[in-house]
Structure 1
Amino acid sequence: MECCNKTDALRAKEMAERKLTEKDFVGAQELALRAQTMFAGLDGLSKLLEVINIHVRSQRKINGEVDWYAVFGVDSSVGDEALRRRYRKMEHLRLLLKPGVYYLTRLRELAMTRDVVQGMF
């Protein structure tokens, strides 16, 4: 039974990656969560889910602009130091993943376009 669940989970993960490259972030999130339910210990799944969640959060807008606190996954009342720590954690996540694939570079693009992040460093 575990073998079948792992195979199905791997298939769902691959489909999630494909959806991600097609910029269907919600569909990718659903498939990745399904893969996690089937086989939680699948290699790279937790990192993939984090990247997908970043993309989903980046779709949230406030007054027509990206809600950067949501992208970073922090409350808007946090201080600069907490925001810096979260940025570094997210940058570390990006560096752990394979370079050259669309969804791996998207995080850096999001972070570098925001004045708040540029002003911190």
Structure 2
Amino acid sequence: MELKTKEFLGAQRIALRAQRLYPKLDNISQLLTICEVHCAAEAKVNGNMDWYDILQVEPRVDETVIRKEYSKLARLLHPGQNTLPGAQSAFKLVSEAQAILCDRVISI
């Protein structure tokens, strides 16, 4: 499977197709979230990570929105709850994005 080889874009396409065919498929939302976070991390802006895209928020949102989205993603990706390949690294990306964006909001 693509997740084991870190082909998240391919895995995302397959997961979306599977979701359309079998909407009640177990863990599909977790799998798609893993793929979305990793795809966002790979799609750099000017050579830099787009932390807003990784956290799935619009640029320049306030800290409340950042924390709310982080909480939602953290529940889906936490390694204690999600044992799918790529979940732990996606959780780390989301955690880093939240820390960086909250720091930016506070310093603005």
Q: TM-score, normalised by structure 1?
A: 0.72
Instruction: Verify: 1:55 aligned to 2:53, yes or no.
Output: no
Aligned length: 101
Cα distance change on mapping 1:56 and 1:76 into 2, 3 Å: same
Once residues 33 and 113 of structure 1 are traced to their aligned partners in structure 2, the CA distance between those partners, rounded to angstroms, is: 26
What is the aligned partner in structure 2 of residue 116 from structure 1?
100
CA RMSD of aligned residues (A): 2.0
Q: Partner letter of residue 106 of structure 1?
A: S
SS in 2 for 1:77: coil
Taking only the aligned residue pairs, the percentage that are identical comes to 30
Q: Which of structure 1's runs of 4+ aligned residues deviate more than 3 A?
A: 111-115, 117-120
Q: CA deviation at 1:19?
A: 0.3
TM-score after normalising by structure 2 = 0.80
- For 1:108 and 1:45, the matched residues in 2 are separated by 16
Stretch of structure 1 that moved more, 110-119 or 82-91: 110-119
Find the counterpart in structure 1 of residue 25 from structure 2: 42
Q: Which amino acid aligns with 1:59?
A: E
Query: 1:97 is matched with which residue: 78, 82, 85?
Result: 82
Specify the alignment match of 1:19 in structure 2.
2
Relative to 1, partners in 2 of residues 1:58 and 1:97: Cα closer, same or farther, differing over 3 Å? same
2:14 alignment partner in structure 1: 31
Query: 1:97 corresponds to which letter in structure 2?
Result: N
